Amino acid sequence: MTIALGSQNPVKQRALERALARLGVKAPVTAVAVPDAPRQPTSEAATEEGAAFRAWSARRQTGAGIGVGLEGGVDLASGWLTMYAAATDGERLFLGRGPSLPLPEAALAAVRSGEELGAYLRRIYGEEAAVRGAVWVFSGGAMTREEALTAAVLLALGPLLG
């Protein structure tokens, strides 16, 4: 079995690797760029669609047995940070949703004005916050972005591999 990840982001790569280790899966992973993927989804639906698009695209680009996509977004309607993972074997698509939390109004205002959430975190809280993610900043350091994405991947890959 081979697995392709629709991102070259190191945090997303580590999240997938952690999930595979927890599932006891040993398979080569190829990380590929998905240039047509959205940069900052601003709705729940767009975040879910972005994860699915990345999964399908990664599998198509590489011919891997499984394609995985991870997407984080800000649902401006509800004010919540949201993240999804998608996994496909080419016929079936499974989704997993990671932990979510409400964002402060200042962060939402930045995203509404066109700033990406990561750039906002870097500007206000520094480089470590941008790397560890909004979930780390706004959970008081209780959870990192990587851990939250790992949870989403486990929920998407578990049914596909089970």
Sketch out the chain's domains with CATH numbers.
3-99+146-161 (3.90.950.10)
* Cα–Cα dist 139/135, whole Å: 6
pTM: 0.95
Q: Residue 48 to residues 52, 70, 106, 116: CA-CA distances in angstroms?
A: 6, 9, 24, 18
pLDDT tens for the chain, 162 residues long, are: 999 999 999 999 999 999 999 999 999 999 999 999 988 999 999 999 999 999 999 999 999 999 999 999 999 999 999 999 999 999 999 999 999 999 999 999 999 999 999 999 999 999 999 989 999 999 999 999 999 999 999 999 999 997
Q: How many CB atoms lie within 10 A of CB 6?
A: 30
Strand partners, 22: none
